[in-house]
Amino acid sequence: MLVLGIAPSVCAQRRKPTPEHIAAIKKCNDDYKQAAKIANDDYRSAVKNANGQMGKGRAESLAHARKAKSLALAAAKLAKEQCVAKAPKWAGRRASH
């Protein structure tokens, strides 16, 4: 019978997020949610205004609103990715050799 085991020291080295990391990620997520909410609210408002128009003007207003929402959400996503990249790292990381 062959028994394979993992040394207890390997199991004890589990990486845990630091409170600073958790707080930074929470802030990144909250900032993204706020930016997305603003973009969606602006879009809904623009659609409401466009519905009062007719013909080509309405189509152009809706197209502009879609484009603005898309750009705003892309910028929010990029900002979140950069924020997460700048966040403090987890504890327990070993130095590279």
First CA to last CA distance, the chain: 36
Average pLDDT over residues 20-25: 93
Bigger pLDDT: 89 or 97?
A: 89
pLDDT at res. 5: 57
Separation between Cα atoms, residue 76 and residue 25, nearest integer Å = 14
Task: Please state, as a whole number, how many other Cβ atoms lie within 10 Å of the Cβ of residue 69.
Answer: 19
- Taking residues 70-84, report their average pLDDT: 96
**Using CA atoms, how far apart are residues 80 and 74, in angstroms rounded to an integer?**
10
Q: Check if the beta carbon of residue 75 is closer than 8 Å to that of residue 35.
A: yes
Q: Measured between alpha carbons, how far is 74 from 35 in angstroms, rounded to an integer?
A: 10
Residue among 84, 76, 64 nearest 39 (CA) = 76
pTM of the model: 0.72
Digit-coded pLDDT (tens) for 33-69:
999 999 999 999 999 999 889 999 999 999 999 999 9
Q: How confident is the model over 60-79, as a mean pLDDT?
A: 96
